Structure 1
Amino acid sequence: MMREIKSTGDYLRAKIVQSTKPDARKRNPGATKDTLLDAARTEFQRMGYDAASTRNIASEAGCNAALINRYFGSKLGLLEAVMEECIDLTPLDGLPPNEMVAALADIALGKVNPTGNFDPMVVAIKSSGSEEAQDVIRSKLGNPMVEQLASLIGGDKADQKAGILLSIVSGMFVGRVSVDADAVSTDHNEALRELLYDAMMAVVSSGT
């Protein structure tokens, strides 16, 4: 029986055919990064920073966990990318103080479902036990949000007023989800909206 002898050209042609099969496609780095970010938003919001698993994030994104380090440097770098430019209060720009405060009250009352659309403030509260995460959250969320609110408020002590407003808004999440107090449940939205409005208007108008 004669043994079939394949030339180098045969092997090269076989390799070329294999590389052009549909399942041997190249990875799109941009698409992979976006998919990892989407998966990370879900994981960080569900678990908080410390408990979040990069293995789970990579699995949900359908890729190897090593790509998180390649694209973002580390789990902390991934959190930083997730929190980057995630707050935009420009829709409130130009509104008179009473309308701006009313909108903020609605934002505060909307913090009910931590597993729904991505909410960076949920991530911030669930990650409060991590010092390294808090440094990222402070620089990417807390300070930028205070700056945006302060620019909307204007006048004396605008930064401090903005900080208090931010505390009120984030406090609604604590009361509703973390503490689950009946007094601040959605059943009382009408009364809560009025009280929130009065409290925040008092802060905004203080000293004027």
Structure 2
Amino acid sequence: MRDSRPRKSKSDRTRETILEAARTLFAEKGYDGTTVRDIATAANIDPAMVIRYFGGKETLFARAADIDLRLPDLSDLPAPSMGEALVRHFLSVWEGDGGGSALPIALRSAAVNELAAERLREIFATQVAPAIARIAGPDTPAVAGLVATQILGLAFTRYVLKLPPVVALPRERLVTDVGRAIQGYIDGARR
């Protein structure tokens, strides 16, 4: 039986190889610690090919850190379960159920690189704030910011810093405990 899927061109395969190498290196070493030469070496190609396909490190970083959080519509959920639903969703994205390899890239790099920090602010403004706006009303900026402190703090300590007590916590404990904190922010805005 013959595979009916169209074959990828050599150009497409090269582009994917470069992008995967970049994602791995940006996640491990951050933006500033990764060079075009490092990416080319990991992809087993000439550095000029990285420039040819992506124009440079900044453009490649933007592609590697392309993040769609696919946030659920919280307004469809019972009010007391919104915090837990958000934490459960983020853990799924971070732990691979949603293909979140770009998240550690952005988070690791944001502290030392303005491009990465701007990318996270953009994700906050275009994805997180609108999702919170549907449930928080006029206090949206504050609630969205407080939710971000919990989610990004959890992500940083569990997936970037790999703080042993946080890594060791079972997923459901994180959902319950961090969800409770987030639920408090949501409930405060709904009063």
- Residue 162 of structure 1 is matched in structure 2 by 144
Matched, 1:136 2:119: yes
Matched to 2:112, the amino acid is G
Give matches, 1:53-92, under 5 Å. 53-90=35-72
Give matches, 1:25-174, under 5 Å. 28-90=10-72, 94-107=76-89, 118-127=100-109, 128-139=111-122, 141-174=123-156
TM-score (norm 2): 0.75
1:124 and 1:83, CA in 2 relative to 1: closer, same or farther beyond 3 A? closer
Q: What is the aligned-residue RMSD (CA, Å)?
A: 3.0
Superposition deviation, residue 145 in structure 1:
3.0
Which shows bigger deviation, 30-39 or 146-155? 146-155
Tell me if the contact between 1:45 and 1:123 (Cα under 8 Å) persists in the aligned partners.
yes
Between the aligned partners of 2:94 and 2:13, the Cα distance in structure 1 is: 31
Between the aligned partners of 2:25 and 2:10, the Cα distance in structure 1 is: 22
1:91 and 1:68, CA in 2 relative to 1: closer, same or farther beyond 3 A? farther
Tell me if the contact between 2:94 and 2:103 (Cα under 8 Å) persists in the aligned partners.
no
Describe the superposition over 1:135-189 as per-residue Cα deviations: whole angstroms up to 9, x where unpaired: 23333x332232343244341222321222122111012333526152x342465
1:155 and 1:119, CA in 2 relative to 1: closer, same or farther beyond 3 A? same
Describe the superposition over 1:86-109 as per-residue Cα deviations: whole angstroms up to 9, x where unpaired: 322147673334343222222455
Between the aligned partners of 1:92 and 1:37, the Cα distance in structure 2 is: 33
Between the aligned partners of 1:85 and 1:192, the Cα distance in structure 2 is: 23
TM-score (norm 1): 0.69
1:74 and 1:92, CA in 2 relative to 1: closer, same or farther beyond 3 A? farther
1:153 and 1:198, CA in 2 relative to 1: closer, same or farther beyond 3 A? same
In structure 1, runs of 5+ residues without a counterpart are 1-26
Structure index of larger Rg? 1
- Residue 5 of structure 2 is matched in structure 1 by none
Matched to 2:18, the amino acid is L
Q: Percent identity?
A: 26
- Residue 176 of structure 1 is matched in structure 2 by 158
Tell me if the contact between 2:65 and 2:105 (Cα under 8 Å) persists in the aligned partners.
no
Tell me if the contact between 1:112 and 1:176 (Cα under 8 Å) persists in the aligned partners.
no
Q: Which runs of 4+ in 1 moved over 4 A?
A: 90-93, 107-114, 188-191
- Residue 6 of structure 2 is matched in structure 1 by none
SS in 2 for 1:155: helix
Superposition deviation, residue 64 in structure 1:
2.0
- Residue 19 of structure 1 is matched in structure 2 by none
